[in-house]
Amino acid sequence: MDFELTEEHRIFQDAIRDFTQKEIAPLVDEAEETNVFPKQLFKKMGGLGFLCPRYPVELGGGGGDKIMDCIMAEELNKVNAGIAASLMVQGGLSTQPIYRFGSEEQKQRFLIPAIKGEKIAAFALTEPDSGSDAASIKTRATRDGDGYIINGTKIFITNGPICDYATVAAYTDPTKRGEGINLFIVEKGATGFSVSRKLDKVGNRSIETGELVFEDCRVPAKNMIGEKEGGGFDMIADTLISGRITYGSRCTGTAQAAYDLTVQYAKERIQFGRPIVKFQATRFKLAEIAMNIDIMRTYTYRVAWMYDQGKNVRKESSMVKLFTAETLQKILSDSMQIHGGYGYMMEYPIQRYWRDGRLFTITEGTSEIQCLIIANETLR
């Protein structure tokens, strides 16, 4: 493995970094204040091939690899974790099942428009009574003629309030725990599909997160992903492995932004007659942060490379998610401590990264779930 980015990677990194600073950074304050995602970013990024950099060029994507996907995630999260999350769901959780397992018609109707930013997608798995235990979902899809009737409720759904369609997990055979799940593409406007409420969150406020309700929602059978009933749980697991690698870069980007802000503050803040960056206690904290960010980035890229080689990285992807998310908590805590009282004030952006980053040990598999996966894969 070559630990240096390729020229193609570096060109992409420069391009996406320039885009985030010019096109996304000016939108952050309003998006955070209003809790409204700037939807124009979908088409802007889609038109440039930035929205889904890992999908083939012939589908409208960037034709890149998993490392390129991680580069994008890091640069987006340096600017704003909430906006990044909405865009990342578009290029990952909500569309990968269609890309990997969907029919040609589904790719034409749903995947390609999503890659181009013409349609906004969501991934609906979590339910009010089913989080870490995904196999315990209660949403049902019952066959009815040439379609399915879906009943159930989904919660904490990124892009839920603004999506044009959602990739929804439901049981077609409740007697088969996990194995009886299928994924369905449910379009906005479908009878019985509604957004019951938009959720108010502590952090990641630029994401529009919602609760979705399906009441006798009729979906055509052709909107089921896969050729037969069952197998949806494996599709979900496949998607989550990729997402957990991306999460490593999400954590790395947030950590890098917090570090940059903290170094700048430490150079400007004068106490006892000199900048606090001159004090050993501060310097040691910053040194440790810098070291951990480098480890986070390097390990994430390593596992992304393994994923591109077609290796089984179920264990390693969970290690990425666990290590980077937990390490980020210490980085953000130390960054807040160095900022002192000013860090707790809303006018200083470090508090936003602190609030946003707290979510990362919870979503897309809690740290405890990652430990369980690692133990199961290691201690056979």
Please report the DSSP string for 346-375 in residue order. TTSTHHHHHHHHGGGGTTTS-HHHHHHHHH
- At 125, list the tokens: 């798995």
Please report the DSSP string for 226-266 in residue order. SSSSS-HHHHHHHHHHHHHHHHHHHHHHHHHHHHHHHHHHH
The residue with tokens 């009815």 is 144
**Side chain identity at 218, as an amino acid letter?**
R
- At 199, list the tokens: 């959720």
Q: How many CB atoms lie within 10 A of CB 100?
A: 12
Q: CB–CB of 53/68 below 8 Å?
A: yes
Known active-site residue 368: no
Euclidean distance between the first and the last CA atom of the chain, given in angstroms as a whole number:
28
- At 103, list the tokens: 């029919």
The residue with tokens 């989904």 is 154
Q: CB–CB of 78/253 below 8 Å?
A: yes
Beta-bridge partners for 210:
157, 198
**Side chain identity at 100, as an amino acid letter?**
R
Residue 296: alpha-carbon gap to chain centroid: 17
- C-alpha 132/C-alpha 47 separation (Å) is 36
Residue 287: alpha-carbon gap to chain centroid: 28
- Annotated catalytic residue within 32, 74, 127, 364: 364
- According to DSSP, residue 127 is labeled B
- Decide: residue 248, CB within 10 A, 0-12 exposed, 13-18 middle, 19+ buried: buried
- According to DSSP, residue 306 is labeled H
The sign of the dihedral angle between the CA atoms of 188, 193, 198, 201 is: negative
- C-alpha 326/C-alpha 314 separation (Å) is 18
Report the catalytic residues: 364
